[in-house]
Amino acid sequence: MSRIEELHDRARAALDPVHYDYYAGGCGAEAALADNERAFAELALLPRILRGNDRRDTGVALLGDRASLPVVVSPTAFHRLAHPDGERATARAAAHAGTVLVTSMAATVAVAEVTAAARAVRADAAVWFQVSFQPDDDVTTALVRRAEKAGCTALVVTVDTPVFGRRTRDERNGFHDLPPGLAPENLRDLPGAPPGGTLPITMSPEFTWRHLRRLRDLTSLPVVLKGVLHPLDARTAVDEGVDAVWVSNHGGRQLDAAPGAVRALPRVAAAVAGRVPVLLDGGVRSGADVAAALALGATAVGVGRPVLWGLAADGEAGVREVLDVLRAEFDHVLTLCGGRRPGDLTADMVVRREWPPLPTAGPPTEQGGPRTGRPR
């Protein structure tokens, strides 16, 4: 059992089962959720040899920031369900690891407190803010201003949620609201919010590329588009001037018919053609998964649930462990593959596990077995 699986087990034991299901679950029959991990399991790496490498550097440039490993923390809601320190603990762990935390619009700690916690660890800690368009433009604008004021260095706009996915486990468990004492703190004091209360997050299928243009005109922060699976959308996004494209099926929580995220990566990477960085999340659980995604065109990957498992199991230390394990595994795989830098991993090094087709054995013999040419 991997260390991340051990932390998952500890998290399952520590969490209220309803909250565990909220974190772990997907939509529908959880086919997209399962396919995220299965799609990685179907990949294998062809290592290169005798490369004369000495020192390695696992770091990557991400927009204006630098990450010391090509793994960022994907935005996930409600960290205080996992640990009382919530997003503060996650922020400290990401800062210690030297990587980017994408804090959710639905965080249970306000973005200014999240950036402060990260910067207390490392002055140049990178925190990005995830936002979903809200029907009232003034609300979206206020959220962006809040993120800017807090010192976030990029906006991640999530576009795979025209409506919430049907979360089978949440429906069965009747999980709809945060327990008393917890709230989506970024949604306080917004236009239309009740005094002292929070505004509900509204998803809507009415948003268009025009809303993205408006957002881009509103801020000088780089904009990342999260939740892209179709290569034509990736191309439009780049033409519209987004600064990065994030391939994701939302951890299998939105469209159950969506493919495992890494299956969509090669076509998106081809459509983007190196014009902007490509990120990917969904099912990344090991350093080999990270390496495969990079080889197929990602600049970096995100991890969602593994971070929640670390947080629930052991707070900041648990999240640090998850990121440390992924760093060590990725560095090891990079070395075994003859690479020195993440960019040394290329698409020709990825094959399917069932690759290659066996040499054709010819028609079956009278006895039924293939002719192998081997004496019997």
Ligand X SMILES: Cc1cc2nc3c(=O)[nH]c(=O)nc-3n(C[C@H](O)[C@H](O)[C@H](O)COP(=O)(O)O)c2cc1C
Ligand Y SMILES: O=C(O)C(=O)c1ccccc1
Q: Is 134 annotated as a binding residue?
A: no
Q: Are 129 and 141 in contact (CB under 8 A)?
A: no
Q: Is 122 annotated as a binding residue?
A: no
Q: What angle do CA 226, 228, 232 make, to 5 degrees?
A: 140
Q: Is 77 in the site for ligand Y (CB under 6 A)?
A: yes
- To ligand Y, the closest distance from the beta carbon of 58 in angstroms equals 29
Q: How does DSSP assign 236-250, residue by residue?
A: HHHHTT-SEEEE--G
- To ligand X, the closest distance from the beta carbon of 337 in angstroms equals 23
Report the interface residues with ligand X, using CB under 6 A.
22-23, 36, 74-77, 104, 106, 130, 158, 226, 248, 250-251, 253, 281-284, 303-305
Q: Are 173 and 18 in contact (CB under 8 A)?
A: yes
- To ligand X, the closest distance from the beta carbon of 342 in angstroms equals 19
Nearer to ligand X, 25 or 342 (CB): 25
In angstroms, the Cα distances linking 253 to 27, 57, 75, 179, 208 are 5, 34, 13, 22, 21
Q: Is 167 annotated as a binding residue?
A: yes
Q: Is 253 in the site for ligand Y (CB under 6 A)?
A: yes
Q: How does DSSP assign 85-138, residue by residue?
A: TTHHHHHHHHHHHT--EEE-TT-SS-HHHHHHHHHHH-TT--EEEEE---SSHH
Q: Which residues are catalytic?
A: 250
Q: Are 29 and 20 in contact (CB under 8 A)?
A: no
Q: Is 287 annotated as a binding residue?
A: no
In the set 182, 201, 328, 336, which binds ligand Y (CB under 6 A)?
A: 201
Nearer to ligand Y, 81 or 292 (CB): 81
Nearer to ligand Y, 134 or 153 (CB): 134
- To ligand Y, the closest distance from the beta carbon of 301 in angstroms equals 18
Calpha distance 146→144 (Å, rounded)? 5
Q: Which residues are annotated as a binding site?
A: 22, 75-77, 104, 130, 158, 167, 226, 248, 250, 253, 281-285, 304-305
Q: Which residues are annotated as a binding site for glyoxylate?
A: 22, 167, 250, 253
User: Which residues contact ligand Y (rule: CB under 6 A)?
Assistant: 77, 106, 201, 250, 253
